[in-house]
């Protein structure tokens, strides 16, 4: 079978990459999306552009969404996979990289893109659990645990169904 014909038979997926930041007390930083009722709170990051590699995406999206120009090393905390569903017709593959700890001054100086996010919050995990869909919170827990243990997480149940 020719490669282009075979390519039509395989799974289609979109990919994202993001950076995981916390405050100095290890409380996660997330941004509230103005465009997504399904995933309202998100890490600084976004969808990969054609020709872009995951680390490049994480850096570009972080800069566009927060104004942070991150120059740390590429340290993978988690990979994410989700099956397609009613809300999105493709599988989703994601990469969550370590962003480090931000000072309160750095957090206050974030510059959000109002077309994408209208608020940045840093909260303890129990507070995030109240604000997030079950699977989104489980993904955040996996990222927190990956940072704590130093072992990258594989989170493969971030499906589009039953969010």
| 25-59 residue pLDDT tens | 999 999 999 998 888 999 999 999 999 999 999 99
| 57-110 residue pLDDT tens | 999 999 999 999 999 999 999 999 999 888 889 999 999 999 999 999 999 999
- Give the CA distances from residue 15 to residues 6, 23, 47, 111, 125, in Å, rounded to whole numbers and listed in that order: 21, 27, 6, 24, 26
The residue ranking higher by pLDDT, 59 or 158, is 59
Question: For residue 107, is it within any domain?
Answer: yes
Give the domain range for residue 45.
12-155
Question: For residue 163, is it within any domain?
Answer: no
Residue position matching structure tokens 């109240």: 130
The count of structural domains within the chain is 1
Question: Average pLDDT in the 4-10 region?
Answer: 92
Rounded Cα–Cα distance for residues 97 and 147 (Å): 10
Question: For residue 95, is it within any domain?
Answer: yes
Question: For residue 91, is it within any domain?
Answer: yes
Task: Give the pLDDT band (50/70/90) at residue 162.
Answer: low
CB 130 within 8 A of CB 53: no
Task: Give the pLDDT band (50/70/90) at residue 157.
Answer: confident
CATH number at residue 109: 3.90.79.10
CA proximity to 67, closest of 27, 17, 116: 116
| Alpha helices per DSSP H over the chain | 3-7, 54-66, 104-108, 125-131, 134-149
Given this model, what pLDDT does residue 163 score? 46
Quote the tokens at residue 68. Answer: 């942070």
């Amino acid at each position: 079978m020719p490669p282009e014909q075979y390519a039509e038979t395989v799974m289609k997926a979109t990919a994202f990459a993001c950076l995981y930041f916390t405050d100095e007390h290890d409380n996660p930083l997330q941004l509230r999306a103005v465009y997504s009722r399904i995933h309202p709170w998100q890490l600084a990051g976004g969808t990969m552009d054609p020709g872009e590699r995951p680390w490049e995406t994480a850096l570009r999206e972080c800069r566009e969404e927060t104004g942070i120009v991150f120059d740390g090393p590429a340290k993978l905390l988690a990979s994410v996979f989700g099956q397609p569903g009613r809300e999105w017709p493709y599988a989703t593959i994601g990469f969550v990289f370590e962003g480090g700890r931000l000072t309160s001054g750095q957090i206050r100086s974030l510059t959000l893109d109002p077309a994408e996010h209208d608020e940045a919050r840093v909260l303890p995990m129990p507070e995030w659990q109240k604000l997030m869909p079950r699977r989104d919170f489980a993904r955040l827990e996996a990222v927190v645990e990956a940072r704590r243990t130093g072992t990258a997480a594989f989170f493969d149940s971030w499906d589009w169904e039953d969010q």
